[in-house]
Amino acid sequence: MKKFVLGMLVLGTVLLAVVLWQTNLSEVGMRLREVGPWAALGILAAYFVGYLLFAVSWLLTVRGVPFRPRWIWRIWRVLMVGSALEAITPFAGLGGEPVKAILLKRHYGIPFTDGAASLVLTRMMDLIAQLIVISVGLILIVRADVLPPAYRAAAGAGFGIFALAILGFLLVQIRRGFSRLRAWLERRPLGKRLPERVVEALDSVHEVEDQLITFYASQRPRAALAVTCALAEWSGNAVATWIAMNALGYPIGFTDAIVIEAFVVLVRSTLFFVPGDIGTQEAAQVLICAALTGSPEAGLALATIRRARDLLWIACGLAIGGTYSIRNVTEFQPPPTPGSSASPSS
């Protein structure tokens, strides 16, 4: 596993070096200097609002938690910490998930099973939103004919793989895939030799699956609202892309911004195993921006802005994590009623 991660990191770094070598870095620097403070503030605001909406999406999946501004703020803080760890750990964007569950339990009294269920549900809602964004983007790409047929075919194949992966992820949840794994292990000699902690973890997964099935069956309005909020986050990213491209001196329409965002999301989702999306994110933005504007430098300048956003987010997340490390407060105990879910209230 370590060798694979290291290999992907090396390949991503090589790809990034190729992108840098094939673009005019002096022009990229000149374009970046054209971004004024108001444009930078607008870009940051679009990203922030989008991320706040994603926190709302997550809150809608947490059992028993009231839908109030205080809880949106708390969830956003936990989300920032987890996302910072996801960005700096090579676990395909999942490195921060255990930390999120721990913070919810330690500081807000949310049981691990509730926290774990909400994390799975949030991931599912986000994947559905990504699927919608990519679908719209691919339709716009085909209509505008901005990519060669080979690239469009590759994008279509990547979309198909991504859609099948999402379907498989959903089926594992509603068909109790982990419980089936637990039952299979019980019938095998290997299952009898598993450490007690592993057995307990597999047993707790059954409770998580109960919550997932209950949410999908009886909380469909909340699920739809959660997907809408996740979709709004990706729309916020497209707004940030539109502001950035126009500030860089490459005037584009909002539909073009959606195309850029959708293409980058597709590449990142397909090549998720590259740590930090190093090289793949930059190559995707250079390719699609060159197709739309005729300038690969536009894509690299946009990628630089996105990386700056990422670094700022990581710094904020780690700073918030530092505040959590010096306090230990349990402020909330969800109701014990199985399958209960608080209605949104102001």
First to last CA, the chain: 47
2 in a structural domain: no
184 in a structural domain: yes
How is residue 174 written in tokens?
A: 């509603």
Round to whole Å and give the CA distance between 69 and 75: 10
275 in a structural domain: yes
What is the value of pTM for the model shown?
Answer: 0.84
Note whether 113 and 204 are within 8 A (CB): yes
Round to whole Å and give the CA distance between 318 and 322: 6
Phi-psi region of 176 (alpha: psi -120 to 50; beta: other; left: phi over 0): left
115 in a structural domain: yes
How is residue 226 written in tokens?
A: 């959660």
144 in a structural domain: yes
1 in a structural domain: no
Q: Dump pLDDT digits (tens) for 51-72.
A: 999 999 999 999 888 889 999 9
Q: What does each C-alpha distance from 140 to 166, 176, 253, 261 come to in angstroms? A: 22, 37, 12, 12
**Domain enclosing residue 136, as ranges:** 34-325
- Count of domains for the chain: 1
**pLDDT-based confidence at residue 288 (cuts at 50, 70, 90):** very high
Residue tagged 């004919």 (tokens): 145
80 in a structural domain: yes
**pLDDT-based confidence at residue 154 (cuts at 50, 70, 90):** confident
Note whether 172 and 147 are within 8 A (CB): no
Round to whole Å and give the CA distance between 15 and 23: 13
64 contact partners, CB below 8 Å, separation of at least 6: 114, 334, 335, 340, 341, 342
Q: Dump pLDDT digits (tens) for 307-346.
A: 999 999 999 999 998 888 766 555 555 545 444 444 444 3
- Count CB-CB contacts under 10 A for residue 2: 7
What pLDDT sits at residue 224? 95
130 contact partners, CB below 8 Å, separation of at least 6: 162, 234, 265, 269
Nearest to 17 by CA among 6, 27, 5, 25: 25
Note whether 260 and 302 are within 8 A (CB): yes
What pLDDT sits at residue 39? 94
245 contact partners, CB below 8 Å, separation of at least 6: 251, 252, 256, 257, 260, 289, 293, 298, 302
